[in-house]
Structure 1
Amino acid sequence: MALLTHLLACVFGTGSWVAVNGLWVELPLLVPELPEHWYLPSYITVVIQLANVGPLAVTLLHRLWPSALREVPVIYAVVATGALACLLLAFLWGYTTHVAGAPHSTAFLVLTFFLALVDCTSSVTFLPFLGRLQPRYVTTFFMGEGLSGLLPALIALAQGAGVTHCANVTREANGTQVLLETRYSPARFSPLVFFLLMTAMMLACLASFFFLTRLPAVRAVPRQSLFPSDVTLCSFRGSPGDGDGLGGQDKPGSAGKAPGEAAAGTAAYSQARLAGIYALVAWVNALTNGILPSVQAYSCLPYGNAAYHLSATLSAVANPLACTVAMFLPGRSLALLGALSVAGTGFGAYNMAMAVMSPCPLLISFPVACWVLFTGTLSYVKVMTGVILRGRSHAALVWYGATEQLGSLLGAVLMFPLVNVYSFFRSADYCSLQCPA
């Protein structure tokens, strides 16, 4: 039963961000076709953060009409909406209309908003539901969340998305000139097939949630409202019903826990330290979900398309790997998590510096390794802060999800004008790029 629960929790976790992660890895095929071209990543970043209206609406509904929210039906609606949006995207992604005199990929951006609405809302619905299970399943959930980036990346590699080569092109202007230009190789299968596979993954998430709710320990818990009645910004203390065991019945130090789990429930943190943990959650997610994704192409493409795709794919591998390390080598020390956050921020700062100097950054560089280390260290921090807060209360997990989305939103709002309004970052064709020695 424990192995089955781990499997279900992992598959359930893949549905949290698989749709949005799928959009990112499919961009090399979408960017040449859609009218926004290389501005598209920053548009997606902002659309994703606008979808934070979902968690906000859930919170307001709880406050104003708490009887209207029930945990299980809300999650069913969220995952079903994601599956439907993926299905529609498979057929409508290339549909464009003229807005303000210019063509825009309206269908793609609108459906992206709904996918992001689902994924953002999952931050304040999926994790609180996992609060009914033992803490070790929360780590498995984070592993599934990491796989939500890895699996689309592997599919994109099989698809051959974004594979390029340099081709000689003859220009007749001002005499005959032979230039090198980047040419995209045909993909092995179309975006239609890719988005249908994303639909299948969302349906697998829906099925795993169905079976999770049928577990005896979970069914024993009454269908309560999404948030406990005492949720406030200061309600970090666990209530009697917020135990660590299945169905919330086990108390700290009780039998039936895995080794090391009791410490998560019994660790005492002052209000100042808890505020520091939430600040750390916001900062890490601002970097990983808002700030750095907007400039990954600028920091890697000067080294070639292969470097860009290796950094994107191997970073996706680093995420579930960090979750696996967290499962077997958990580190709840705030000093350790702070040190890893500083290291991850350093790698992120280096990646940002390369993006600022684009299209001619330092050629003696390690863009792939820096992106992998950046993702791996901060993914470990995210997992362990989630485990720490799981030991506090159901409310603490809710505020973890809200803080996660707030940090992501602030990062995206900061980067959008820098990329799209002030053109702070510059791109160039790799094959025709000429930089001073």
Structure 2
Amino acid sequence: MFKNILKDRVILVDILSVLFGISSWVAVNGVWTQTPLLVERLPEQWNLTSYVVMIVQLANIGPIVYSILKFKFSLKAIEKPCIHVTLGIGAVACLLLSIFWDKITVINGTKHSVAFLILTALLAVVDCTTSVLYLPFMAHFKSKYLVSYLTGQALSGLIPSFIALAQGASDNPECVNSTTTHEVYPKYPEPRFSVSVFYVCLLVLVLFSWTAFVLLNRMGRCRKELVLYSKKSSGFKAGLGRTTSTGSDVSSDSSIGSKTESFDNHSESNAKPNNESNEQNISRKTFITLLLTQAYICSLTNGLLPSIQSYSCMPYGNTAYFLAVNISSIVNPIACLIAFYVKPKWIIHTLPGVISLGTACAIYAMVTAVLSPTPPLQNTGAGNALIVLTWIGIAGLFAYSRACIASILRNNTGAGHNSLFFCGVFTQIGSTCGAVIMFCIINFTSSFVSTSACG
């Protein structure tokens, strides 16, 4: 069986495709895994997560600009140069973050981490743009290598989380009396390695990906795996672009793309009965319901909930916040992988229950954030465990739900690509609405209250 898998494959191309895929969302995922440390050290404090979420949504200007350039110039003329530019910007931004992430700027008497926010915005633009750049580039290669790229894309979320876990959670702070002002302030213990070292690790990953991209283009053994596209195959390529270009969630994109790869491989092997058995006609009512559900889920997972995670978790301690962020990042792609292997009939039966359970977790997370800084079960082991499990549940249940919705839409008879295009549109609508609404509530009202660890 293993020999059949490796048959007619060039392992070097697989390895380089994985390395190339790692850079797709590694920077933004890396920034997010550091938020438990950053909210302690940057002046935005608990509001920082709302800034990061809003920046990521605004960064979708990148794909828009690239789409305009693609229509104005030929794809062949701009595709590779644009990938080089994005990788270059990502590498420079990671390097600068390792140096300037904690530099503070005073504006109108108020402290702001301007350098961190600007560099994070650059990384967000780069990562958002990869959604419309990388998959079309991989479409130049034989379709069997797409799954290798998608594996790398999944690792772009897993690797930063594992590095952050190795970095370790800073324990709860020690309250120290200032010798000059006689005020009590929190002194946070340092993790195993600093935030600066973490960003250097991200820089190394981006450089590995950049090297892989160069080798995919230059090495003769890799170029032999390229395919020439006819009008028919370019439709497949366009379908891939529509499948992932507008989604902002890494794992969801990976799941959708994996199903496209599976569909294409079945077609190549003339396994038509399997394809047909998965296809189904979706009524207009069901189609609209699925799109609205997708928008609802993404408004929570990409907008509302990440913005208030610090308010929800920080009252339970730094360790609880650290575990909630990083374990959730690991669970997300695993949940999508599970959805990939679930039979269509089981998806239909389990999806409403999974979404309901995810909504229950989201409500509890929202309640703890609103009641911050004194949420239920604070300073208890049960409370700490419950809040971590709640956020893990949100990540896993909604990631599974998004992947299932994408699967249903992908198998919509005769309209899979168009269905996924609208799925991407509603993904972005929901994400943007959730981010804007919560950013305004957090920063312009007193609905959410933070406090000092020694307050």
User: Which bin holds the TM-score, normalised by the shorter protein?
Assistant: 0.7 to 0.9
Counterparts of residues 236-315 of structure 1 (less than 5 Å): 255=269, 263=277, 266-315=279-328
Instruction: Point out the more displaced range, 109-118 or 283-292.
Output: 283-292
Does 2:84 match 1:80? no
Report the equivalent of 1:408.
431
Taking structure 1 as the reference length, what is the TM-score of the superposition? 0.78
8 Å contact kept, 1:128–1:397: no
8 Å contact kept, 1:227–1:398: no
Cα deviation, residue 350, structure 1: 1.4
Secondary structure at 1:31 match in 2: helix
Report the equivalent of 2:402.
382
Counterparts of residues 114-263 of structure 1 (less than 5 Å): 114-127=122-135, 144-167=152-175, 169=177, 182-209=186-213, 214=222, 218-221=226-229, 227=238, 255=269, 263=277
CA distance, structure 2, for counterparts of residue 345 and residue 9 of structure 1: 36
Does 2:361 match 1:343? no
8 Å contact kept, 2:158–2:330: yes
RMSD value, Cα: 4.0
Task: Read off the aligned partner of 1:154 and give its amino acid letter.
Answer: F
CA distance, structure 2, for counterparts of residue 258 and residue 15 of structure 1: 35
Secondary structure at 1:124 match in 2: helix
Change in CA separation of 1:405 and 1:343 when aligned onto 2, cut-off 3 Å: same
Task: Provide Cα deviations, 1:111-160, integer angstroms capped at 9, x if missing partner.
Answer: 11111111222333445556678999777766544433332222223223
Secondary structure at 1:103 match in 2: strand
Task: Read off the aligned partner of 2:367 and give its amino acid letter.
Answer: A
Does 2:389 match 1:369? yes
Counterparts of residues 87-98 of structure 1 (less than 5 Å): 87-98=95-106
Change in CA separation of 1:130 and 1:409 when aligned onto 2, cut-off 3 Å: farther
CA distance, structure 2, for counterparts of residue 152 and residue 41 of structure 1: 17
Report the equivalent of 1:65.
72
Change in CA separation of 1:165 and 1:256 when aligned onto 2, cut-off 3 Å: farther
Unaligned 5+ runs, structure 1: 232-243, 433-437
CA distance, structure 1, for counterparts of residue 267 and residue 234 of structure 2: 25
8 Å contact kept, 2:49–2:309: no
8 Å contact kept, 2:140–2:227: no
8 Å contact kept, 2:143–2:265: no
CA distance, structure 1, for counterparts of residue 20 and residue 343 of structure 2: 22
Secondary structure at 2:395 match in 1: helix
Task: Read off the aligned partner of 1:372 and give its amino acid letter.
Answer: I
Instruction: Point out the more displaced range, 403-412 or 113-122.
Output: 403-412
8 Å contact kept, 2:26–2:202: yes
8 Å contact kept, 1:131–1:394: no
Identity of aligned residues (%): 35
8 Å contact kept, 1:83–1:199: yes
8 Å contact kept, 2:98–2:199: yes
Change in CA separation of 1:164 and 1:65 when aligned onto 2, cut-off 3 Å: same
Task: Read off the aligned partner of 1:67 and give its amino acid letter.
Answer: S
Cα deviation, residue 367, structure 1: 0.6
CA distance, structure 1, for counterparts of residue 191 and residue 423 of structure 2: 39
The total of aligned residue pairs comes to: 413
Change in CA separation of 1:267 and 1:85 when aligned onto 2, cut-off 3 Å: farther
Change in CA separation of 1:247 and 1:346 when aligned onto 2, cut-off 3 Å: closer
Cα deviation, residue 320, structure 1: 2.4
Change in CA separation of 1:100 and 1:334 when aligned onto 2, cut-off 3 Å: farther
CA distance, structure 1, for counterparts of residue 448 and residue 288 of structure 2: 34
Task: Read off the aligned partner of 1:104 and give its amino acid letter.
Answer: H
Secondary structure at 2:34 match in 1: helix
Instruction: Point out the more displaced range, 217-226 or 363-372.
Output: 217-226
Does 2:42 match 1:34? yes
CA distance, structure 2, for counterparts of residue 36 and residue 161 of structure 1: 20
Task: Read off the aligned partner of 2:323 and give its amino acid letter.
Answer: L
Does 2:446 match 1:426? no
Cα deviation, residue 88, structure 1: 2.4
Task: Read off the aligned partner of 2:397 and give its amino acid letter.
Answer: T
Instruction: Point out the more displaced range, 157-166 or 19-28.
Output: 157-166
Cα deviation, residue 362, structure 1: 1.4
Task: Read off the aligned partner of 1:424 and give its amino acid letter.
Answer: S
Change in CA separation of 1:344 and 1:379 when aligned onto 2, cut-off 3 Å: same
CA distance, structure 2, for counterparts of residue 17 and residue 369 of structure 1: 25
CA distance, structure 1, for counterparts of residue 142 and residue 132 of structure 2: 18
CA distance, structure 2, for counterparts of residue 271 and residue 257 of structure 1: 29
Change in CA separation of 1:307 and 1:331 when aligned onto 2, cut-off 3 Å: farther
